[in-house]
Structure 1
């Protein structure tokens, strides 16, 4: 059962509890529980003197949780409490165990498996999702122009803006979820924190309002590149998943991190296009017969 803290934290538009008198009243009512939360542990995850620690409660292990050692980064699986063994669909985790999770994140675009992602690879991969050509060009520009140089094996910038997968960990930036470490491993604790802190109402995912709060909560001082990169990454995630109810499901987001959902979405669009094309042919055939 959720604690009183988890259910009672007010939903503030600016993401800060300190701005209201209601928050001070809440802290007063729950101060004993707050300073000893979670109960039965040797540590606390919130203190009344710093209200933001009450509003954004991190993930903490509970009885019955399937995820073991959440603070330990996984080198080749994107583990969560619901998927402690990573993505097992289509044998993904086993087939990609020779790659770090951050490398798995981009293998969808490396169709020839040469370890290099050209701008054309990026464009084709985005088009396979059914994205508009102009949107694909924008995505290609943002991705390859900004991410090419850190991965380059040379000090000289690559005029073709290729991305080298072997050095992809060097593309890590600030103000993001911190679910990847500096070597490309996946950090389950940080991933779980995203939903523990920002999933208001325990929906099992994040809506647009949650994403705005998350973007604000994860920002680092003076990190203009990180702010922009995180914004476009989550925008692309939303456009790709495009949930009917507006909620990005937790496991879908997890599969974004290990890249396993990208080909799935491409296949889904291809199948949809195939059925749509077949329906059009049937209509045209009936018109001719008439």
Structure 2
């Protein structure tokens, strides 16, 4: 379907199923007090401008880095709902397959994703139930399948944590204020590693690497808006539209 307490995370779950893509009700960005734009030199990197034109600097972090609670609804459910193709609240392997095909993955990757993702998430999302040979994923319990060593952008209830999202760029966007390079993604993954959480390391690595390869721009950058879109699932809808458009143009 691609963010942590499960044992084996699927190849393409970018915080994919969870491939954890996020975009939510927040533009909670804090502006530095009275900065004179004329005093800013090229050596003094600015993080970004918000839509009102206020200048935002990368340091110090405007957020409490220990903040772990998100806001609003369970956006993790929205994130994975793209793969619930018939909208019945349950994702079966063939729906995962269909979802990955819809966003442009080939048959082999989509097949692997359908099997591995569902095998990895079915137990945690169906607590107390007898295992099913159909390896379904119950969307309402998706937050129970979060793995460790991730960004923390989803809290334990599947809600979006604004400070964690902002810190991705404050800490790791060294080259471009609103985008990550491949090297910066690697840096982020290493920093997020929890001791001896090997499954979490693997899951986060696979999610971000595949996400990066699928969604980097022509300059090899993973843009801020793309990362936000991943977390709430709207990225998958965009990729589906782009895939359909490509097929239409080829006909």
Instruction: Identify the TM-score tier after normalising by the shorter chain.
Output: 0.7 to 0.9
Aligned 1:26-41 pairs, distance under 5 A: none
Larger Rg: 1
Per-residue CA distance 1:60-117 (angstroms, 9 max, x = gap): 16xxxxxxxx8762223xxxxxxxxxxxxxxxxxxxxxxx100001111112111000
- What is the match of residue 52 of structure 1? none
Structure 1 segments of 4 or more deviating over 4 A? 1-7
Matched, 1:209 2:183: yes
SS at match of 1:75: strand
For the pair 1:73 / 2:70, whether they are aligned, the reply is yes
Is the partner of 2:190 in helix, strand or coil? helix
Question: For the Cα contact (< 8 Å) 1:72–1:188, is it kept in 2?
Answer: no
**Match of 1:192?**
166
Q: Does 1:260 align with 2:231?
A: no
| 2:202 paired residue number | 228
- Report the Cα distance in structure 2 between the residues aligned to 1:213 and 1:262, rounded to whole angstroms: 25
Q: Distance in 2 between matches of 1:199 and 1:133?
A: 34
SS of structure 1 residue aligned to 2:71: coil
* TM-align CA RMSD: 2.4
1:181 aligned residue:
155
Partner residue in 2 for 1:13:
none
In the TM superposition, residue 142 of structure 1 has moved relative to its aligned partner by: 2.7
Q: 1:158 aligns with which of 132, 157, 169?
A: 132
1:165 to partner: Cα distance:
0.4
Structure 1 residue 233, shift from structure 2 partner: 1.2
Q: Contact 2:178/2:224 (CA < 8 Å) preserved in 1?
A: yes
Q: How does 1:1-290 map to 2 (within 5 A)?
A: 59-60=61-62, 73-76=70-73, 100-277=74-251
SS class of match (1:243): coil
Superposed CA offset, 1:102-147 (max 9, x none)? 0001111112111000000000110112211111122223311111
Task: Give unmatched runs, 5+ long, in structure 2.
Answer: 1-34, 46-57
Question: Does the 8 A contact of 1:116 with 1:163 survive in 2?
Answer: yes
Q: Which has the higher contact order (CA 8 A, sep 6+)?
A: 2
Structure 1 distance, partners of 2:229, 2:96, is 18
Q: Distance in 1 between matches of 2:138 and 2:145?
A: 10
Q: Distance in 2 between matches of 1:140 and 1:229?
A: 16
Give the length in aligned residue pairs.
198
**Quick check: 2:85–2:99 contact (8 Å CA) kept in 1?**
no
Query: In structure 1, what is the equivalent of residue 53 of structure 2?
Result: none
Secondary structure in structure 2 of the residue aligned to 1:124: helix
Is the Cα contact below 8 Å between 1:58 and 1:193 reproduced in 2?
A: no
Structure 1 residues 57 and 144 mapped into 2: Cα distance closer, same or farther (>3 Å)?
A: farther
| Shift in CA distance, 146/258, structure 1 to aligned 2, threshold 3 Å | same
Q: Which has the higher strand share?
A: 2
Following superposition, the deviation at residue 264 of structure 1 comes to 1.3
Distance 1:175 1:217, change over 3 A: same
